[in-house]
Each structure stands twice: as structure tokens, then as C-alpha cells.
Structure 1
């Protein structure tokens, strides 16, 4: 495994700046976000990555598939575009954050009429996957289902455990659908080591950051630099390795203090903590 910068960790950097930062700090891979790629331009982003000799460890993100009617059709179209972008970038996977309850918006108060049909939302994800997985397979793209910590179930992801994501993936060839192991989201799960072993080569991405305690008021920003929170990384990393994963390890941090810091200092700390805290 080798270290990769997920672009959101150094959020102020454009694709060009992040690619340059990876080269400057000796990284071999980068995880990109669709909005940053759009700002840079897809063709230019492809050229920057290839000229730098980097791999794209993931493209974030597809998903948000729990709506219905016209909104569901629009979501499928957007995900097909995301698959096409991932193919152009030769990304190892397209990360799929599947979406929360219909009508519940991330970070906003619960609106009147918001859905409470959790089972129906999960069925909608399965329905969408039956449409998108073959499309992704035709383009050589692996969809990577990312379970999110249960605190995000209402508004971001109705898949809350690695086991749920894995079970959903098993209907498809492993080259079409896999799973993301993100330490922030799975560290608490008493079945995580069993499900990592069960996932095997379906592990499409391994992402690391720490779980801060206490969480900030905006829980989305509760992801910390490895070693600053409560996660014991080494056993998780060892389990991922034992399952057969040999891809890149992305550091993906959502944290206001990290975003406000000098990105080069963040990169230096990230590399040191990876060696000290993450590797077994």
C-alpha cells in the first residue's frame, strides 16, 4: 500500500495545486473530487495527473440515489456522468455516498413531509445499482459503496455498516462493485474485522482519518488527523492488508482547522502520522 492525498484534505488547493503538492511531497496517487475536476476542466485534470505520473486512487463522488420520480432519473444521469469522468481519469474507483432519507437535506433542519421510510430508501439504492453497475462495468469503472457512520444515516447515507454495503455489492462482479473501508465510519462496528475479511478483494478503497472526541457542533467536520482522535488504526490496516488489498491509502479529512492550515504543513504531518500511526 502507498499513501494518497484525498483532495478534500487540502481543500483550498485546485487540482493543479494538489497534483503539484503530491509530486513535491513524493506521493504517487491522488483522490480527486468531481467539483474540483469540473473547475479545472476534465481534460486538463487528466493531463495534469498523467504528466505528473500519478494514479487517481478514487473519484469522489457518485451516489445520492434515494429519491424518486424525476429526481431519481436525474440522479441516475448524474451518476452516469460521474462514471464517464472516472473512466477518463482512469480512477481506481468511483466512491458512492448513497444518500439519506428522501427530503432530508444534509445539515438542515428536518422539513415537514420528510420521509421516514428507511427500508424504502435502501430499496431505491439497490434499484439504482442495478442500473449503474452494468454501465460502470462497460466503462471499466468500479463503483465503491461507502458506508457512513450512523450519525449520517438521515441525510447522507442509508448504508451504515460495511456489512450492509458488502451485501449489496455481492450481486455484481467484483470488478463492477466494491466497498470503501473508511476508518472514521467503521471503527466502532463490532463486526468490522469479520466484514473486512469477508470483503476481500471487493475492498476498492481504504481511507483513513481519525474520529475526534468530542465531535464539533457540525459533525461533518469531526474528522481529524490520524493520532488526534480515538481510532486504533494499526489493527484495521492489518486486517485490510490480510484481506488482500494492495491499493492506495487515502487520507480524507473534513476539518476546519486542517483546511485553514498551510497545505504543505498538512501534507508533512499526514506523511509522518501515516508512518507512525496507520502502518502496522
Structure 2
């Protein structure tokens, strides 16, 4: 029987109609008490004010989006990315976030060295670890669909992410976003492995539309596409993760054009009926 799991709203889902404060108000009105904001949304209102809103309303922050983007053509460029990630850790700590989500970055410049890019990712996260541990912030690598390997994320499967976790230790885990991993023939085994390692830090949901008109900005509402959401949810729960399902929908031609209250209403209905 399906267990009752809370909903978190990744604030990308309503970013075109609500800022940070408006999104929190809308979520509370809908009975949703967990969010995952993006760093530009935090910056727009100011970290102190964002932290006050979270604290005063007893909001759970399931993640801060995003750190990462480690590969760069020069040592100075790589260090600049690490420095920015240290600031991201501070922001996640101030919001008492469950994790800082890492979209790790792709090939730097005109490079074709995918193995080298992945090593830059491991080295970059390693450089963050002392500050993350001191701040009590978990780091969640989010594997992205292989279509993003060149420009956004050279880590594309849960197993690849877990290999990095094994090198770096327990502070580093994974954010499982169904949009990016649903296709993986090793998905069940990979999620079970993540569970054995106690490394599932977040579970993001949406749907894959057929046809998809834009690979970045045309994610579907749950139930409108082909992802086996209940099946993946069972894998995640069997692996021991029962945190909120975080709804993250980029939808420039559909859901981003709708009122936030309407979007949240549909999300609640779909999570109850198809997830």
C-alpha cells in the first residue's frame, strides 16, 4: 500500500509567477510545508530574510539548488567555482536545508575529455567537503540525463554518482530526479545500492512528455508522461528514503504560464492519484 509522503515544491515550478516569499505563502495556503529554493531566488530576497521566513513558518527546506559546475579550462576557473560552492554551503546552512544539490557541470571549453571532466568534479567536491562537514550540510549529486553530459552534467547515472560518493565519504549522496534517471536499465539496482549506502538525500518528481518540445523547459506534470512514478517511488522507499517528494517542473509553455495556486492544486491531486 502506498505510504503517505509529504510534498515539497521546488521553487523552479512557480518561478515565473512567484518570488520566494510569495511561493512560501502559496505553499502554506495549499497545506504544503516543504520547499526547495534556487540560489537566485534566495539572493533576490536576501539570505537573512529567506532564513527568517523559513524559520518563522517552520518550513522544511528539502534542498537548495544549486551548487556544482566544477569543470573549467583553468585552475583559476576551477577555484572560482569552488569558492562559489562554499558560499552555496553557507546559504544551505542558513536555511537548515536537507542538502545542497549539485549539478556538476559538463565538458570545459572545447574539451572532449569526459573522464577528465569527471575527475574535476570529484576534486571539486573534495575541496568543498571540509566546509560542508563543518557546516552540517549534505551534498547531493544530481545525475542528469545523458543529453546534458556535454554542457550541464558529466555524471549521468546514479551508479556514477555513487562511485564518487564511495571515494568522498558519507557527506556526499545523491538526489534522484526521475526526469533524468527513469530510462536507466540499472535503475532498480542503483537505487538499492544508494539505499544500502544510506546516500539518498532527495527524490524529485515530474514527468517525461511524448513528444518533448524542449529538453530543458518542457517537463510534464506527473501523470502526463511516460515515467513509472509509482514504480520508482517504491524503489526509493524500499531503499529506505521516505522524505518529501519534491516536485520540480520546468515548463515555459504550460505550467509556468498558469497561476501558482492552480499549479499547486494540480500537483496535490496528481501526487495523490498517480505517484
TM-score range, shorter-chain basis? over 0.9
The equivalences for 1:1-280 within 5 A come to 1-12=5-16, 13-67=18-72, 68-103=74-109, 114-174=110-170, 176-200=171-195, 201-216=198-213, 218-256=214-252, 257-278=254-275
TM-score between the two structures when normalised by the length of structure 1: 0.93
SS at match of 1:45: helix
SS at match of 1:220: coil
> Following the alignment from structure 1 to structure 2, what is the Cα–Cα distance between the partners of residues 172 and 130?
7
Q: Compute the displacement of 1:117 (Å).
A: 1.1
Q: Compute the displacement of 1:179 (Å).
A: 0.2
Deviations 1:184-207 (A, max 9, x none): 001000011101010012000000
Deviations 1:248-278 (A, max 9, x none): 2100001111111111100000011011111
SS at match of 1:181: strand
SS at match of 2:211: coil
Q: How many residues align?
A: 266
TM-score between the two structures when normalised by the length of structure 2: 0.95
> Following the alignment from structure 1 to structure 2, what is the Cα–Cα distance between the partners of residues 214 and 116?
30
> What is the Cα-based RMSD across aligned positions, in Å?
0.9
Deviations 1:150-183 (A, max 9, x none): 1111110000101100111112332x11101100
Q: Compute the displacement of 1:134 (Å).
A: 2.3
> Following the alignment from structure 2 to structure 1, what is the Cα–Cα distance between the partners of residues 146 and 218?
14
Deviations 1:49-74 (A, max 9, x none): 11112110100000000113211110
